[in-house]
A = this chain, B = another copy of it.
């Protein structure tokens, strides 16, 4: 197989193959007199492995090490990488929190309700907590209390969710593509993402479920007739626009 065939088959660019050749990560089995690179099944197999590790975020250098050195412990490499990824995710979580805080400060108005929205998450009123925080640091205490807090959080989140339902119901007669609608649906997206991790597709699919599933629809339409449909449309538009 020549470069284009391989590239098209696995969905990478020709340049990438050139590059992998240049750095010795994936050499073609041989080259024709004209210098054309010729790849065979075994190169394809190696390429699959390369792409696998690449998808996991490994740098090419490491991939080369891992593949070239069968004695290299792949499991260990995976474990190490796993922890690097965890660290990265924590970093991102921190950034997300910071942004939220900042927006709350910057925006002020609408976000004042955001303030309230998270007020319940603060346990500073509990004297034992106060002491615990000083002794062990905030983060550890927060984590240790995760189970207990989870209930409070959930209660509070439910309230927040209800509020947002109401605010969505208020505008359910407007165009789901309108700026207001999209802003509030974005809030909805962010709110859900505080609970779990939602892809845009999942978000859109969820909107459809709101309409198709009786149980969901009834519950949602309690806030206003037609809200489920409105939300589905707004959610689809939102997801597609990203």
Shortest Cβ distance from residue A188 to the other chain B in the assembled complex, whole angstroms: 13
Please provide the chain A residues from 98 to 145 with a CB less than 8 Å away from any CB of chain B in the complex.
Answer: 98-100, 102-103, 106-107, 132, 135-137, 139-144
Shortest Cβ distance from residue A238 to the other chain B in the assembled complex, whole angstroms: 10
Bound CA span A213–B135, Å:
11
- Cβ A140 vs Cβ B209 within 8 A: yes
The answer to whether A205 has its CB under 8 Å from any CB of chain B is yes
Q: A75-B103, A143-B198 are in contact. Are A95 and B136 (CB under 8 A)?
A: no
The answer to whether A1 has its CB under 8 Å from any CB of chain B is no
The segment from A32-40, A64-72, A189-197, A220-228 found at the interface with B is A189-197
A residues in contact (CB < 8 Å) with B: 55-57, 74-75, 78-79, 81-83, 85-86, 88-90, 92-93, 95-96, 98-100, 102-103, 106-107, 132, 135-137, 139-144, 146, 186, 190, 192-193, 195-199, 201-202, 204-206, 208-209, 212-213, 216, 242
